[in-house]
Amino acid sequence: MSRLAALFAGRKEPALIAFITVGYPDLAATLEAVPLLESCGVDAVELGIPFSDPLVDGITIQQASYRALQKGITPAACLEAACLIRQKSALPLLFMSYYNPILSYGPALFCREAARAGVDGLIIPDLPLEEAGVLEASSLRHNLDLVGLLAPNSPPERIGLVAGRSRGFIYLVSLTGVTGMRQELPPGVADFVARVRSLSSLPLCLGFGISTKEQAAQLSGHVEGVIVGSSIVQLMGSGEKWQPAVARFVRGLKEALVQGRQAGP
Amino acid sequence: MKVMPDERGYFGGFGGRFVPEVLMPALEELTAAYAGARTDPSFQEEFHYYLQRWSGRPTPLYAAERLSRLQGRARIYLKREDLLHTGAHKINNALGQGLLAKKMGKKRIVAETGAGQHGVAVAAVCALLGLACVVYMGEEDVCRQAPNVQRMRLLGAEVKAVTDGSRTLKDAINEAIRDWVTHIESTYYLLGSAVGPHPYPSLVRDFQSVSGLETREQFLALTGRLPDFIVACVGGGSNAIGIFHPFLQDRRVRLIGVEAGGRGLDGDEHAASLAAGRVGVLHGAKSFVLQDKTGQIRSTHSISAGLDYPGVGPEHSYLKCSGRASYVVVEDGAALEAFLLLSRTEGIIPALESAHAVAYALELAGSLKKEQTIVVNLSGRGDKDLGIVGGALEVE
């Protein structure tokens, strides 16, 4: 069973999935963050490969990407980082990258090296399935799960398409907008989840705009995973002693997910 | 000949739709709406009514005698898109898409702008059609094209300065797309060049083709034959594809796109995607892109804000690879020289973008025979560039 499949098998509360930008605030922080996140209850980590033109990201991840690029973080450096992280952590790891750096690297070569580094899946926010053929074939060959995305405005045809081809889980983008912290869940999120649920048996993980314990608690019982990015990235960039702040924040989310489950949906 | 693009939006190996999932339904909706409008006589009638009565079409095709005499060889003709309302070819597309947005029931328009010509055109169209208008513009461009910022505001548009990245056109497009994603139901994204995800490259091309169709008719009427060369500047490539497209089947008409060579192709300070880029994905389409060896998009430089863009429309990438069009490079200095030359020989102040095409046409004319002919798409007027050129004049 793959690490991602094992993650969702027989889960009680939703998995907590953390996003961090590789190389922000520096590479040492990335390497230190994953074991720390793991010890605080995180169940899987998305490693963001920085890109010069992050179209779906809000200001926090945009700035983290620019800073990482200024430090010379390349896709090759991200692959090396994943390899080092894999030596210290057994968590499922996914790369989140815009398509051009992967296209430039060569999709087949990138998949081979990602798999060799111990990465389990790929999330490419600007690669709809219509354009994903090449990467899909390469990722399959190397047992990497190419995770499909859906948005609240996705019509039934597209839900069906993604449900049929997504692997590992389906990434539900909670809102029509960019990444970044919000205080409340967008209205209609339960309906969105239910619409997808009626057409797919894959685990559903919800991300974009999730940054509070209250939001996490409300999602418990609705989805198999909750993805939190900008808040963690912001805390990691908040100063030299980011570790206690990140640990406290993540533990709080985890508790909320567990308690939310006990309280029932 | 094959229909371009195919149903997935590909021109050969270029184009497509590399966008977040949230945009896919909007692009489908736009594709369907445009397919309807294209064959709807009342839509076409309304489009052409405003093109004529409001924006001043047809534009003249002018035989530039004194300019041609400088080389004493081939005759140069200017397609006078600079005479259009708001000062550039951009109004053709802004009007077409504005009418389409209204037909689709959208109440709010977002757009990006580089030189500000597209922004001004969109602001004018929104005023005309009663639509709310937000224009994203890189901070650097807000400074170097200040008169156009004032025009947009006067026309009722909200101009938002973009402070990320290189603070030019590329970053303005990023921000416009982020706005669009966030307001997907109410908002229409009025993209100004022949770039972006399908159907934008063909949509923009079709609305801009009016200049090529007129040129073909006018040239035939004037001379009884077709021109030997058509020369147009290429940033994203909307004025070029507009004038090229109606001539694609006329195999003897040579089509030449002129990219911005900035301070030279040796370094990174240029915007010549076709000459110096690699195939990549930027702003939703696969095309030639200026990028570093790890796939990060490069910052560009051109003296003309409208050409200062690291990508190019996918149909140009296709035309380059198929050999139907060829692409050359003109540097800042030569463009500036052509700017002054056209001003003083013909009394026409061109946009710095168009001055790139004029510069190449002059060079080309020197290598041709007397009976040969060149049409230059004079895509815009240069009033907006007086600040930039003023500095150069003082040096002179």
Tens of pLDDT along B58-99? 999 999 999 999 988 999 999 999 999 999 999 999 999 999
Does B185 sit within 8 Å of A153, measured CB to CB?
yes
Residue A131: list chain B partners with CB under 8 A.
16-18
Does A128 sit within 8 Å of B17, measured CB to CB?
yes
Angle between helices B90-103 and B24-38 (to 10 degrees): 100
From A149, which residue of chain B is nearest by alpha-carbon distance?
A: B21
Residue B293 is a catalytic residue: no
Q: CA-CA distances (angstroms) from residue A228 to A24, A27, A173, A176, A233? A: 16, 20, 12, 17, 9
CA-based nearest residue to B386, from B350, B342, B333 = B350
Does A158 sit within 8 Å of B21, measured CB to CB?
yes
| Closest in A52, A62, A125 to B296, CB measured | A52
How confident is the model at residue B1, as a pLDDT?
A: 52
From A77, which residue of chain B is nearest by alpha-carbon distance?
A: B294
Q: CA-CA distances (angstroms) from residue B396 to A16, B86, B337, B389, B393? A: 65, 30, 11, 10, 5
Of A57, A113, A136, A145, catalytic: A57
Does A149 sit within 8 Å of B295, measured CB to CB?
no
Confirm or reject contact between B294 and chain A (CB < 8 A).
yes
Mean model confidence pLDDT for chain B: 96
The partner residues of B254 in beta bridges, in order of sequence, read B229
Confirm or reject contact between B268 and chain A (CB < 8 A).
no
Give the number of other Cβ atoms within 10 Å of residue B154's Cβ. 12
- Those residues whose C-beta lies under 8 Å from the C-beta of residue A81, and which sit 6 or more positions away, are A22, A23, A27, A30, A31, A47
Of B81, B102, B112, B140, catalytic: B112
How confident is the model at residue B168, as a pLDDT?
A: 85
For residue B116, give the amino acid letter.
Answer: G
From B284, which residue of chain A is nearest by alpha-carbon distance?
A: A126
How confident is the model at residue A240, as a pLDDT?
A: 87
- Those residues whose C-beta lies under 8 Å from the C-beta of residue A154, and which sit 6 or more positions away, are A162, B21, B22, B24, B25
Does A55 sit within 8 Å of B21, measured CB to CB?
no
Of B90, B106, B170, B286, catalytic: B90
Min distance A173 CA to chain B CA atoms (Å): 8
Return residues 9-38 of B near A (CB < 8 Å). 16-22, 24-26
Rounded-to-integer distance, Cα B288 and Cα B257, Å: 14
Q: Are strands B187-189 and B132-138 parallel, antiparallel or unpaired?
A: unpaired
- Is the pLDDT score of B233 beyond 70? yes
Residue-by-residue pLDDT tens, chain A, 265 positions: 789 999 999 899 999 999 999 999 999 999 999 999 999 999 999 999 999 999 999 999 999 999 999 999 999 999 999 999 999 999 999 999 999 999 999 999 999 999 999 999 999 999 999 999 999 999 999 999 999 999 999 999 999 999 999 999 999 999 999 999 999 999 999 999 999 999 999 999 999 999 999 999 999 999 999 999 999 999 999 998 999 999 999 999 999 999 987 765 4
The chain A residues in contact with chain B (CB within 8 A) are: 51-56, 58, 62, 66, 69, 74-76, 99-105, 125-128, 130-131, 149-155, 158, 162, 173, 176-178
| Closest in B20, B24, B294 to A55, CB measured | B20
Residue A105: list chain B partners with CB under 8 A.
294-295
| Closest in B21, B26, B294 to A149, CB measured | B21
Does B185 sit within 8 Å of A158, measured CB to CB?
no
Per the CB < 8 A criterion, the answer to whether B117 and B351 are in contact is yes
pTM, 2 dp? 0.96
Rounded-to-integer distance, Cα B149 and Cα B143, Å: 9
How confident is the model at residue B59, as a pLDDT?
A: 98
How confident is the model at residue B396, as a pLDDT?
A: 54
Pick the residue of B10, B14, B18 with the most A CBs within 10 A to test the interface with A by mutation. Answer: B18
Pick the residue of B186, B189, B281 with the most A CBs within 10 A to test the interface with A by mutation. Answer: B281
Kindly state the average pLDDT of the residues B354-358.
Answer: 98
Min distance A3 CA to chain B CA atoms (Å): 26
- Compute φ and ψ for A196, nearest 5 degrees: -70, -40
Residue A46 is a catalytic residue: yes
Residue B19: list chain A partners with CB under 8 A.
126, 128
Kindly state the average pLDDT of the residues B216-225.
Answer: 98
Residue A178: list chain B partners with CB under 8 A.
178, 181-182
**Adjacency order of strands within the sheet including B61-63:** B61-63, B75-79, B373-377, B229-233, B254-262, B325-331
Rounded-to-integer distance, Cα B214 and Cα B309, Å: 28
Which domains, and CATH codes, for chain A?
13-263 (3.20.20.70)
Rounded-to-integer distance, Cα B260 and Cα B309, Å: 9
- Give buried/exposed letters for B13-35 (b at 16+ CB in 10 A, else e): ebbbbbbbbbbbbbbeebbebbe
Does A127 sit within 8 Å of B182, measured CB to CB?
no
- Is the pLDDT score of B280 beyond 60? yes
Min distance B189 CA to chain A CA atoms (Å): 14
Does B21 sit within 8 Å of A103, measured CB to CB?
no
Does B8 sit within 8 Å of A130, measured CB to CB?
yes
How confident is the model at residue A250, as a pLDDT?
A: 98
- Is the pLDDT score of B129 beyond 70? yes
